[in-house]
Amino acid sequence: MTDYVSQPGQRLDVPDPTVAVRGQTMGGAEFEIIGTLLQAVRLRLRAGQTIFTETGSLAWMQDGIEMNTNLGGGLGGLLKRAVSGESLFIVDFTARRDGAEVTFANDFPGKILVLHLAPGQQIIAQRTAFLVGEKTLSLDIFFQRRLGAGLFGGEGLVLQKFTGPGTVFVTIDGEVVEYTLQPGERLKVDTGHVAMFESTVAFDVELVKGFKNILFGGEGLFFATLTGPGRIWLQTMPMSKLAGSILRYAGRAEDKNQGFNVDLGNLIGR
């Protein structure tokens, strides 16, 4: 970011946003991930190139981008998204000229990560992770095989599964921390902090041990367990924890008549 001076009657030139990552998708589109805490990804597509997202992710687009809302896989795809609680429709964005620009923004403080997936390569992510991807990419629902992981895993019965080839942009709540697990190595994680993991990693949920830990530990009843081999990505500020903190504060503020005037329904309705 460069310094600037605003003078009366002169042109106003605001600083350019910080560019966190700059590169090219596997399909040849140039992209920039801009911002630090509230990020967005700006893509410049080639003529005829199509990317897709879920409804509500678009920030802005130039002339030369054609928008098409569809079922994304027909009735079967619609039913899967209905079960997962996701948007029922998919939106395709197709460039009608070279360099046409379209931008998508994160709706929560955190990071946007770019993943370049080889043919057949898979990544499993939290249900809200998907932001935008190339049309060659397969976006599917990942159903937990074990009932315990599905019921108590913090993300419901389903996660998202991305299968290459193609580039996908995903969102992480807060900062991201990566671990590489060796075969048989296990990491216990508060369920809301699990953001993403490779398909070789086994995901399950176990009950917190110890009567005092359950009653007074304040960490919930369950841990997510991730067992290698493979890489996992954890997030430092899950939306669910932030929402809980706001609700607790709201209750205290109302008791003290401090006029806490925030529309919590809109704030946490992610």
In the predicted model, is pLDDT for residue 76 greater than 70?
A: no
Asked whether residue 2 is assigned to any structural domain, the reply reads no
Asked whether residue 205 is assigned to any structural domain, the reply reads yes
The single-letter DSSP state of residue 191 is G
Tell me which residue range forms the domain holding 115: 19-251+263-268
Q: Which two tokens stand for residue 83?
A: 């079960």
Determine the average pLDDT of the residues in 132-160: 69
Kindly state the helix (H) or strand (E) to which residue 131 belongs, with its residue range.
Answer: strand 130-134
- What CATH number did the domain enclosing 194 receive? 3.60.160.10
Count of structural domains, the chain: 1
In the predicted model, is pLDDT for residue 189 greater than 80?
A: yes
Determine the average pLDDT of the residues in 72-87: 55
Determine the average pLDDT of the residues in 142-147: 61
DSSP one-letter string for 82-118:
HHHT--S-EEEEEESSTTEEEEEE-SSSEEEEEEEEP
Pairing of β 130-134 and β 166-173: antiparallel
DSSP one-letter string for 18-64:
PEEEEEE-TTS-EEEEE-SSS-EEEEEEPTT-EEEEETT-EEEE-TT
**How much is the pTM?**
0.81
Predicted local distance difference test score (pLDDT) of residue 50: 97
Residue type, position 115, single letter: L
Asked whether residue 257 is assigned to any structural domain, the reply reads no
Determine the average pLDDT of the residues in 252-267: 52
What does the alpha-carbon distance between residue 168 and residue 113 come to, in Å, rounded to a whole number?
Answer: 8
Closest by CA to 217, choosing from 225, 207, 208, is 208
Polymer length of the chain = 270
Residue type, position 141, single letter: I
Asked whether residue 5 is assigned to any structural domain, the reply reads no
40-44, 144-148, 192-196 — which is least confidently predicted?
A: 144-148
Asked whether residue 60 is assigned to any structural domain, the reply reads yes
Predicted local distance difference test score (pLDDT) of residue 150: 47
Asked whether residue 150 is assigned to any structural domain, the reply reads yes
Determine the average pLDDT of the residues in 143-153: 52
Helix residue ranges per DSSP H, 85-202: 147-152
Asked whether residue 209 is assigned to any structural domain, the reply reads yes
Determine the average pLDDT of the residues in 27-50: 96
Asked whether residue 70 is assigned to any structural domain, the reply reads yes
Predicted local distance difference test score (pLDDT) of residue 234: 97
Predicted local distance difference test score (pLDDT) of residue 156: 44
pLDDT digits (tens, 9 = 90+) for 200-241: 999 887 766 544 444 444 455 677 889 999 999 999 988 777
Predicted local distance difference test score (pLDDT) of residue 81: 53
In the predicted model, is pLDDT for residue 107 greater than 80?
A: yes
What does the alpha-carbon distance between residue 60 and residue 68 come to, in Å, rounded to a whole number?
Answer: 15
Instruction: Calculate the average pLDDT of the chain.
Output: 81
